[in-house]
């Protein structure tokens, strides 16, 4: 594939798990849900499913709950694992799940009739060997749907996949533009969907994985101030990294857990809100749980009311995402052009399967 000149109508994830679908969504390369987005899928089984036109896919007699976790079920024919679909039980939810995946399968087959680039995150060295030994079959399967279709593999921890197969391309490097894959207008539409989707409701910090959004938020919403960060977990670490990358001063860290207070985190002593209440502060709440965030906001506002002159500016990721969602088309297109050619990375967290479009 000559990725510098080719342009595709669709980009579709072939798994092997949520990582690839999520990365594509964050970069404006994903415009709808397809069958392999949020499931764990061996590559050989993916090929068999496509070759059969999804025959027997999601047949009830092939599905069984995992003994150790009834919220997870497996398709025993294809060895697919579904981790995000059960709300109550497999028996109670089966019809809804079946209809959802039937829509996704139909959408997949129709879309792949148009020029499509497929993305596959390689699960392990065994799969790399499988790719090397089955190159002709892989290419034949995807090109049977449309001769212009291509596939790109992403081995763990690297974006350069030349060693995997001759028809793979290291797409996300400095030499290739994202615009060679999808037109900017299409990516703009996908980004707008991403910014208002339940992916960000599930985990508001996911938008930080997209460098232009991260940079824009820091430069336009957070710069010129020094910040306290409330939260010393994974999300606090992400916000800390964002501020440090932009040279924005971090005054300190706050945590509600008494066992953390007084300990060192990123070179600073973790304090309680009581230690800093009563002074004007810029506070970023880096906590996942929405109810906990609202509780902290109420606590801080009540504290400010008791202290004349105190006026804490409170921010969290939902605030940033709302502002990002309000950007104009020209601002988003400018950000997309900034990031053309950069590898998206593959975040470890997994979004829910309820995203539909």
User: Whole-angstrom Cα distance, residue 300 to residue 118?
Assistant: 48
Q: Does residue 156 lie within any of the structural domains?
A: yes
Most confident of 141-145, 242-246, 327-331, 339-343: 141-145
Residues 118 and 228 in one domain: no
Q: What is the pLDDT of residues 286-316, one digit of tens each?
A: 998 889 999 999 999 998 888 766 789 999 9
What is the arithmetic mean of pLDDT over 257-281? Answer: 89
Residues 213 and 306 in one domain: yes
**309 φ/ψ sector (left φ>0, alpha ψ -120 to 50, else beta):** left
Q: Does residue 343 lie within any of the structural domains?
A: no
Residues 136 and 268 in one domain: no
User: Whole-angstrom Cα distance, residue 267 to residue 271?
Assistant: 13
What is the domain extent for residue 244?
Answer: 202-321
Q: What is the pLDDT of residues 156-186, one digit of tens each?
A: 654 433 333 323 333 343 334 566 778 888 8
Residues 124 and 177 in one domain: yes
Give the model's confidence band at 209: pLDDT under 50 very low, under 70 low, under 90 confident, else very high: low
Residues 73 and 170 in one domain: yes
Q: What is the pLDDT of residues 102-118, one digit of tens each?
A: 999 999 999 999 999 99
Structural contact between residues 310 and 342, judged by C-beta atoms closer than 8 angstroms? no
- Considering just the CA atoms, what is the radius of gyration of the chain in Å? 23
């Amino acid at each position: 594939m000559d990725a510098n000149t080719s342009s595709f109508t669709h980009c579709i994830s072939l798994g092997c798990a949520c990582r690839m679908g999520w990365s594509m969504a964050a970069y404006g390369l994903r415009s709808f849900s397809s069958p392999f987005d949020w499931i764990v899928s061996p590559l050989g089984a993916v090929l068999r499913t496509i070759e059969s036109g999804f025959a027997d896919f999601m047949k009830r007699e092939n599905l069984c709950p995992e003994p150790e976790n009834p919220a997870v079920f497996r398709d025993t024919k294809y060895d697919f694992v579904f981790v995000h679909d059960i709300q109550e039980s497999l028996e109670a939810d089966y019809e809804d799940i079946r209809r959802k995946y039937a829509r996704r399968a139909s959408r997949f087959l129709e879309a792949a009739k148009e020029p499509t680039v497929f993305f596959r995150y390689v699960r392990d060295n065994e799969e790399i060997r499988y790719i090397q030994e089955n190159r002709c079959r892989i290419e034949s399967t995807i090109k049977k749907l449309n001769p212009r279709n291509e596939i790109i593999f992403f081995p763990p921890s690297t974006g350069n996949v030349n060693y995997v197969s001759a028809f793979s391309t290291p797409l996300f490097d400095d030499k290739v533009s994202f615009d060679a894959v999808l037109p900017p207008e299409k990516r703009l539409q996908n980004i707008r969907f991403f910014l208002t989707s339940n992916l960000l409701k599930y985990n508001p910090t996911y938008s930080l994985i997209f460098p232009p959004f991260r940079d824009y938020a820091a430069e336009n919403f957070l710069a010129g101030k020094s910040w306290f960060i409330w939260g010393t977990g994974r999300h606090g670490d992400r916000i800390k990294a964002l501020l440090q990358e932009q040279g924005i001063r971090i005054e300190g860290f706050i945590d509600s857990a008494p066992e953390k207070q007084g300990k060192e985190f990123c070179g600073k002593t973790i304090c309680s809100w009581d230690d800093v209440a009563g002074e004007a502060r810029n506070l970023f709440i880096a906590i996942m749980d929405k109810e906990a965030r609202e509780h902290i906001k109420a606590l801080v506002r009540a504290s400010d009311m008791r202290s004349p002159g105190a006026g804490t500016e409170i921010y969290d990721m939902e605030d940033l995402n709302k502002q990002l969602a309000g950007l104009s088309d020209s601002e988003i297109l400018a950000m997309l052009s900034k990031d053309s050619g950069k590898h998206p990375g593959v975040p470890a967290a997994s979004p829910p399967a309820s995203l539909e479009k």
